[in-house]
Structures are given as structure tokens and as C-alpha cells.
């Protein structure tokens, strides 16, 4: 094929790439950085042991790995989300499947899958990959548009303008809100934003934070509950948004606190899941 055509195809692939992603790199990095602060020393040590060499001993460095595996592991693509018919509710039996109708193939099924795999030392799955998938999917299930409406692919087909730039509703929630916040409030420094979120967890949300992870059934995770929350938040995210809508300050200022809280919840809950897997109170699954 001609060089021009090849370049054009590459450019098109690059332009499409964001729609295929989850929380952008920053979102996943922040979720995992928050989680690191809540790990018990046993869990932190076990996680470190499982990390690949290229992570440099830092879980957060691996939290976007799953997005890079979508083509290598085609089956993993539907595991990043759980779209609904648009009734603001997530129903596992109804909504957790891939397009072929195969059950459990959604983000909630994946979180349960990799949690169980990490707990079970006889699991055939590669534990390093299980950890990296788990850390990524706990982030994804907290992004409201990952439990968006199936008919618009979780907002991917709703073209909008983010201030003056062309985007889509899904990408706004994955990337644009975080990017704008970093630029406007955090000196373009992801660590400054993480510190602000962590401060809110210990001050602003210290009381409710204890309710974020009250999952008593230890053999399973509370991932279906997180998806229900996201499905409800997604309905608010769609409100007033149409094809070609321009979203700017009004939308940004109502969405940003939601994004920050979802990152906080994702981090706290990922730590709780890892602590249950690797902590002292290790529970056998029968």
C-alpha cells in the first residue's frame, strides 16, 4: 500500500484510539496511587512481589497496561465496561455479557474473576497479569461512562465539543475533565492532584469513606455495587447532552467533583480488595 495511504490509516487509528481507552493514563495512575496509600504492609509486599520488572516496584506504573493488551487479548475488550439499556441501573444477569452473549464478560465479572484468581494459588492464570487486570478494572468500573448506555457505546458515539476541541462524551469523562482540572488547578502535575484527592479522603470524606467498602461477602467483591453507582452517575452525565453539544464551565464544574470522588473511591476500594486477598485475614475460597 502507498505510503500516503499508510500514513492516513495510521492517523485514523491514532484519532480513534482514545475512544477505545478507559480512564486515560492519568485516571488509572491516580486510582492506583491512592490505593497504594491504603495497602497493609503484607499486601504491599505481596503486590511488589508480583509486579513485572518494568514497573520499577510501583503498582501505579502498571495500571494502564490492560489498555495496551486489547488487541493482543481480543477477549479482554468487553471486560473494560458494563453498558446498560439506559435505565440508570446495572443488573448483573441482564448486563454482564459480551456482544456474543457470553456471560460474566464485563467489568464486574472481570473484577470477580481476577480477585478469585489471585486468591487461589492453584489458578492457571498468570498472577502478574491478574493483578494488573484487577487494578485496571477497579478503576474502570468507577468511571460512570463505563456503565453508560449500550446504544451509544457508553457515550463514544456522542460527539461533543469540550470547550473548543472536538471530543465525545466518553472521552470527556476518561480524559478531558482530568486534563482541564490538571491544567487549571494542579499546575499540570498529576501528583499535586493526587495529593488533593488524598487530602479530601482523610478530611472531607473521612466519615463516609468507612462506608465505601463494606462488603461482607469475602468470597466475592462488591463490584456490582460500584457498577450500580456508576450507572446512576452516568444518567446524570448524559443530562442535557446531545450530538454536537458544547460542554464548558457549567459541565466541567459539576462533573469534576464526581470524577475526583470516583478516583478516590476506586483507590480506597482497590486497596481493600488487595488487602483482603493478601492481608493477614486471608480467606480460602472453597
DSSP class of residue 121 equals: T
Of 37-45, 59-67, 231-239, 255-263, the segment contacting ligand NAG by CB under 6 A is: 255-263
Of 2-10, 23-31, 42-50, 104-112, the segment contacting ligand NAG by CB under 6 A is: 104-112
Does residue 104 belong to the site contacting ligand NAG (CB under 6 A)?
yes
Cα separation, 182 vs 148, whole angstroms = 25
Does residue 141 belong to the site contacting ligand NAG (CB under 6 A)?
no
Of 11-19, 22-30, 39-47, 197-205, the segment contacting ligand NAG by CB under 6 A is: 197-205
Q: Could you give the C-alpha distances from 94 to 102, 103, 152, in angstroms and in order? A: 11, 9, 18
Rounded least distance, CB 13 to ligand NAG, Å: 25
Strand order in the sheet with 245-247: 165-168, 159-162, 245-247
Does residue 285 belong to the site contacting ligand NAG (CB under 6 A)?
no
Hey, what's the cell of 184?
Answer: 487549571
* Residue number with CB closer to ligand NAG (194 or 235): 194
Cα separation, 71 vs 4, whole angstroms = 24
Does residue 259 belong to the site contacting ligand NAG (CB under 6 A)?
no
Among 52, 85, 240, 257, binds ligand NAG (CB under 6 A): 257
Does residue 179 belong to the site contacting ligand NAG (CB under 6 A)?
no
Q: Which of residues 64-103 bind ligand NAG (CB under 6 A)?
A: 75, 79
Q: 133: buried, middle or exposed (CB in 10 Å: 19+, 13-18, 0-12)?
A: buried
Cα separation, 133 vs 33, whole angstroms = 16
Q: Residue 167: beta bridge partners? A: 160
Q: Which residues bind ligand NAG (CB under 6 A)?
A: 75, 79, 104-105, 109-110, 113, 125, 196-197, 200, 204, 256-257, 260
Amino acid at each position: 500500500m502507498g505510503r500516503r495511504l499508510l500514513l492516513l490509516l495510521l492517523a485514523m487509528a491514532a484519532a480513534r484510539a482514545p475512544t477505545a481507552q478507559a480512564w486515560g493514563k492519568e485516571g488509572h495512575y491516580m486510582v492506583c496511587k491512592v490505593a497504594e496509600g491504603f495497602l497493609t504492609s503484607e499486601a504491599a509486599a505481596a503486590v511488589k512481589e508480583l509486579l513485572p520488572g518494568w514497573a520499577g516496584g510501583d503498582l501505579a506504573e502498571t495500571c494502564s497496561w490492560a489498555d495496551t493488551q486489547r488487541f493482543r487479548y481480543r477477549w479482554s475488550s468487553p471486560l473494560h465496561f458494563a453498558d446498560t439499556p439506559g435505565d440508570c441501573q446495572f443488573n448483573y444477569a441482564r448486563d454482564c455479557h459480551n456482544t456474543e452473549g457470553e456471560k460474566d464478560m464485563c467489568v464486574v465479572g472481570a473484577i470477580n474473576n481476577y480477585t478469585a484468581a489471585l486468591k487461589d494459588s492453584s489458578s492457571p492464570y498468570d498472577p502478574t497479569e491478574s493483578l494488573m487486570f484487577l487494578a485496571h478494572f477497579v478503576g474502570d468500573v468507577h468511571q460512570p461512562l463505563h456503565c453508560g448506555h449500550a446504544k451509544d457505546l457508553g457515550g463514544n458515539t456522542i460527539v461533543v465539543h469540550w470547550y473548543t476541541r472536538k471530543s465525545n462524551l466518553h472521552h470527556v469523562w476518561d480524559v478531558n475533565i482530568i486534563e482541564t482540572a490538571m491544567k487549571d488547578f494542579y499546575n499540570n502535575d498529576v501528583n499535586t492532584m493526587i495529593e488533593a484527592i488524598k487530602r479530601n479522603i482523610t478530611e472531607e470524606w473521612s466519615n463516609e469513606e468507612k462506608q465505601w467498602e463494606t462488603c461482607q461477602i469475602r468470597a466475592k467483591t462488591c463490584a456490582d455495587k460500584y457498577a450500580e453507582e456508576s450507572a446512576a452517575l452516568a444518567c446524570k452525565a448524559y443530562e442535557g447532552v446531545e450530538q454536537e453539544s458544547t460542554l464548558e464551565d457549567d459541565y466541567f464544574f459539576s462533573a469534576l467533583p464526581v470524577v475526583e470522588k470516583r478516583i478516590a473511591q476506586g483507590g480506597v476500594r482497590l486497596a481493600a480488595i488487595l488487602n483482603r486477598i493478601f492481608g493477614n485475614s486471608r480467606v480460602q475460597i472453597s
